[in-house]
């Protein structure tokens, strides 16, 4: 995956240049230019058609390309990138929203402390790193940060997993094999050093091929082994309890511990 950065007015975009190259529209000299910034990332070598409007729900609504939405803080929209001839796939558009007491001050603004410390850029880079390592995370498309003086707003685009169901929607089956795969998948991420601070039954997705995926890496990070692994598992157990599915815990832990014992 080759990441590129763009700076357009007050907007900063970190995106997977490969998706646009595959679409045959990156660096098209016939298109209106936008500014590409270099650094540790690859910079676009000329004009690009990456449109900041792709982070706007209104844009996709105008193109009749909104095909669904997911529950959560704010709303994650499912959009069809094929409708605008960008990619033959669907994307998930998620705006960053604050929760708790902080939301009383602002639901969508965060304090500016630097571009690379923004939540969107950090999540984009982390997701790209895990994806490159072959871990089951959705392919990231782009992150957008819009600066407003001492604050900023942000959004993220990722590839939608076709036919995926949240673990929350699979708990009634109480399938031990599935639950053990969930535990084994969590252990894979822990072995890679991922501290997922919001490990819950809606951030674990199951696709029709029975692969278990992990989503929503906001505020997550890579760490050395420590007590955070148990904290992640305890967070998941509390989430299961909310769905009255505590009976799923032993099978998940079996899958988790089986991977440990096989190392």
Query: Given a cut of 70, is residue 31 above it in pLDDT?
Result: no
For the residues 172-186, what does the mean pLDDT come to? 96
Q: Please say if 198 is a catalytic residue.
A: yes
For the residues 154-174, what does the mean pLDDT come to? 95
Q: How many CB atoms lie within 10 A of CB 138?
A: 20
Strands (E) in the chain, as ranges, are 3-8, 11-16, 35-37, 66-70, 76-80, 90-95, 110-111, 140-148, 151-159, 165-166, 194-195, 204-206, 212-214, 221-222
Strand, helix or coil at 224? coil
Query: Given a cut of 80, is residue 45 above it in pLDDT?
Result: no
For the residues 174-200, what does the mean pLDDT come to? 97
Strand partners, 12: 7, 145
Q: 3-12, 141-150, 181-190: which has the minimum mean pLDDT? A: 3-12
pLDDT digits 0-9 by tens, 239-251: 999 999 999 999 9
Domains along the chain? 3-159 (no CATH), 165-261 (1.10.510.10)
Predicted TM-score (pTM) of the model is: 0.87
Query: Given a cut of 80, is residue 28 above it in pLDDT?
Result: no
> Annotated catalytic residue: which of 9, 169, 198, 218?
198
pLDDT reported for residue 30? 36
Percent of the chain with pLDDT over 70: 82
pLDDT reported for residue 20? 62
Query: Given a cut of 90, is residue 101 above it in pLDDT?
Result: no
Q: How many CB atoms lie within 10 A of CB 46?
A: 12
């Amino acid at each position: 995956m080759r990441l590129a950065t763009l700076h357009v007015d007050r907007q900063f975009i970190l995106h997977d240049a490969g998706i646009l190259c595959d679409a045959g529209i990156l660096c098209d000299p016939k298109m209106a230019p936008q500014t590409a910034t270099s650094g540790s990332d690859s910079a676009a070598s000329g004009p690009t058609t990456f449109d900041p409007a792709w982070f706007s729900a209104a844009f996709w609504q105008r193109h009749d390309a909104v095909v669904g939405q997911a529950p959560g803080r704010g709303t994650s929209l499912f959009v069809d990138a094929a409708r605008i001839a960008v990619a033959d796939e669907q994307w998930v558009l998620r705006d960053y929203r604050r929760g708790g007491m902080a939301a009383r001050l602002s639901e969508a603004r965060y304090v500016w402390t630097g571009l690379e410390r923004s939540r969107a850029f950090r999540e984009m880079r982390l997701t790209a790193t895990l994806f490159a390592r072959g871990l089951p995370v959705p392919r990231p498309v782009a992150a957008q940060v819009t600066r407003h003086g001492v604050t900023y707003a942000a959004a993220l685009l990722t590839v939608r997993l076709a036919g995926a169901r949240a673990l929350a929607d699979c708990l009634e089956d109480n399938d031990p094999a599935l639950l053990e795969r969930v535990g084994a998948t969590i252990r894979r991420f822990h072995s890679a050093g991922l501290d997922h601070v919001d490990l819950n039954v809606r951030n674990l997705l199951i696709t029709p091929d029975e692969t278990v995926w992990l989503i929503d890496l906001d505020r997550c990070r890579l760490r050395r082994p420590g007590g955070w692994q148990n904290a992640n598992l305890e967070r998941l157990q509390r989430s299961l309890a909310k769905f009255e599915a505590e009976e799923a815990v032993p099978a998940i832990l079996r899958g988790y511990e089986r991977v440990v014992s096989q190392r």
